[in-house]
Amino acid sequence: MPELPEVETIARGLATRVTGDVIESVWLGSKPEPLKSSPEQIVRALEGARIAAVQRMGKHIVFRLEAPQAGPQSARTHAHWTVHLGMTGSLRVCDPAVALAPHTHAVLKLCSGRELRFVDPRRFGRLSVHRDGFQATGVEPLDISFERFAGLFRGRKTPIKSALLNQKLLRGVGNIYADEALARARIRPRHRAATLTYPELRRLYAALQKVLTLAIAAGGSSISDYVDADGEPGFFQIQHRVYGREGKPCRRCGSAIKRVVIAGRSSHYCPRCQK
């Protein structure tokens, strides 16, 4: 599933390509799973609207739409169209002459002559509209102060890996970057969140911010189906220290990377470096 760096990469790419464009028409496929709002709500909100901005909120891509022939600034906001990519979803800006990919569930025809297409083979992605605006739960991990970050884990008896994945605490962090941050902070994923010391939390805070920043710069991690708005893969996977490297030598000490299951999710760590 695309995580914060992948979604940020896609949102930035889309922002440079479609901001200011107008949605001329909307086609939606026949599969109901991707539609969190009704087809009628989506079409009514999107058709004729101008894309004023594109940004990431957690793991969502949010398009701020302005009503056609909008009046004063205060009256312009029309709706937010939000896209959650699920496990295999992608948003691509295409020339209309390009054949539709299998599993295309939405096509937005833009006044610029291009098309914005949502493709999702496994149909875990979600499309929805919000007339009163959209707000993701949790705090942005790249914006949070250390004091607030440390406060998130006070009294929490869950493993620190589970706490990092809790979207009500930190938005956008997923399995890959939780594992990579814990590896860089030298903390085992099973440790209870509430037992981490102040120095350990300091290391984790710095490691999480660093790994997310590096991953964004590399265009994210292409593990399965992830590609950016141009259909290009990311490259951060070549910098992974533990994720997906079970049995391979630790890049720091040479010990074999281990994998355990925590709350139904695979977790990778070095048994020597992470205490």
- Tens place of pLDDT per residue across the chain (275 aa): 789 999 999 999 999 999 999 999 999 999 999 999 999 999 999 999 999 999 999 999 999 999 876 555 444 567 999 999 998 999 999 999 999 999 999 999 999 999 999 999 999 999 999 988 898 899 999 999 999 999 999 999 999 999 999 999 999 999 999 999 999 999 999 999 999 999 999 999 999 999 999 999 998 887 666 766 777 777 798 899 999 999 999 999 999 999 999 989 999 999 999 99
Q: Where are the domains of the chain?
A: 4-130, 146-269
- From 211, 208, 111, 193, select the one nearest 152 (Cα to Cα): 193
- Residue 82 vs residues 46, 79, 157: alpha-carbon distances, Å: 11, 10, 33
Active-site residue (options: 3, 6, 66, 115) = 3
What are the backbone angles phi and psi of residue 69, rounded to the nearest 5°?
A: 55, 45
Place of tokens 């949790």: 138
Pairing of strands 126-130, 77-84: antiparallel
Q: What is this structure's pTM?
A: 0.89
Domain 4-130: assigned CATH number = 3.20.190.10
Among this protein's residues, is 3 annotated catalytic?
A: yes
146-269 topology per CATH: Helicase, Ruva Protein; domain 3 (1.10.8)
* CA angle (105, 109, 111) in 5-degree steps: 165
Q: Say how far apart CA 275 and CA 269 lie, in whole Å.
A: 10
d(CA 92, CA 87): 16
**Among 17, 50, 56, 59, which one carries the catalytic annotation?**
59
- Alpha carbon distance 10, 128 (integer Å): 18
Our answer to whether residue 59 is catalytic in this structure is yes
